Amino acid sequence: GNSVTQMEGPVTLSEEAFLTINCTYTATGYPSLFWYVQYPGEGLQLLLKATKADDKGSNKGFEATYRKETTSFHLEKGSVQVSDSAVYFCALSELMNTGFQKLVFGTGTRLLVSP
Amino acid sequence: ETGVTQSPTHLIKTRGQQVTLRCSSQSGHNTVSWYQQALGQGPQFIFQYYREEENGRGNFPPRFSGLQFPNYSSELNVNALELDDSALYLCASSPGANQGNEQFFGPGTRLTVL
């Protein structure tokens, strides 16, 4: 089946540092790709998405590019803030045999940003 | 616009008991998916409901069952609870079940089984 692999955390950075969280996937076909963020004690919020190869998703300074040739969707941010501390999940959409989609998630990467 | 809501927030049960978790989908959304998130793990797909019918199911035993109501709200029922059922249960709604449709998540219900 389809799967998502993320770099293990925690990732510890100082404020204003550059962030990269690696994500690679295994999938049949061409899934849509997502990054979700989970703040402490909360549910998941969609951070950004890309629906086809070479698409770049972006939001709140975060970016990720859908790379079909390397099956990757790495998350980047040029300058992190303390408020970015959270767990980040990479996910893909998998088409079920019913014709509908479900999300397949990676295990998550915890980001800790210190002042 | 009201987002996805879930109740209760927290729940403590003992092994062998049964539990019902509830989810209200976002206005205008007809599809609800349920996910289980064990501690330190990513969410795992349990099942999905579209217009009151189960649409797809993940690798969960039959003691995990669900319902969707005419107003598109949903319930997740778990019978014969086991210790490993302790997790955060997330509900997500979407305006349709097609490829690329964003799923909007609720805050989750944290279930502890003792």
Question: Which of A17, A18, A9, A89 lies closest to A47, judged by CA?
Answer: A89
Does A74 touch chain B if contact means CB atoms closer than 8 Å?
no
Q: How far apart are CA B36 and CA B45, in angstroms?
A: 7
Q: How far apart are CA A34 and CA B100, in angstroms?
A: 9
Does B8 touch chain A if contact means CB atoms closer than 8 Å?
no
Supply the pLDDT for residue B99. Answer: 54
**pLDDT tens, position by position, A52-68:** 999 999 999 999 999 99
Q: What is the DSSP string of B21-42?
A: EEEEPPTT--EEEEEEE-TTS-
Residue of A8, A48, A103 to mutate for B, most B C-beta atoms under 10 A: A103
Phi-psi region of B109 (alpha: psi -120 to 50; beta: other; left: phi over 0): beta
CB crowding A66-88: b at 16 or more within 10 Å, else e: bbeeeebbbbebeebeeebbbbb
Query: Is A22 buried (19+), middle (13-18) or exposed (0-12) by CB count in 10 A?
Result: middle
Residue A46: list chain B partners with CB under 8 A.
Answer: 102-104
Q: How far apart are CA B21 and CA B66, in angstroms?
A: 9
- Rounded average pLDDT over B17-40: 94
Predicted confidence (pLDDT) at residue A104 exceeds the cutoff of 70? yes
Predicted confidence (pLDDT) at residue B96 exceeds the cutoff of 80? no
**Closest CB from B97, B102, B105 relative to A100:** B97
**pLDDT tens, position by position, B13-26:** 999 999 999 999 99
**A104/B56 CB distance under 8 A:** no
Supply the pLDDT for residue A67. Answer: 96
Predicted confidence (pLDDT) at residue B42 exceeds the cutoff of 70? yes
Predicted confidence (pLDDT) at residue B100 exceeds the cutoff of 80? no
CA distance B81 to chain A (A): 23
- Rounded average pLDDT over B25-30: 89
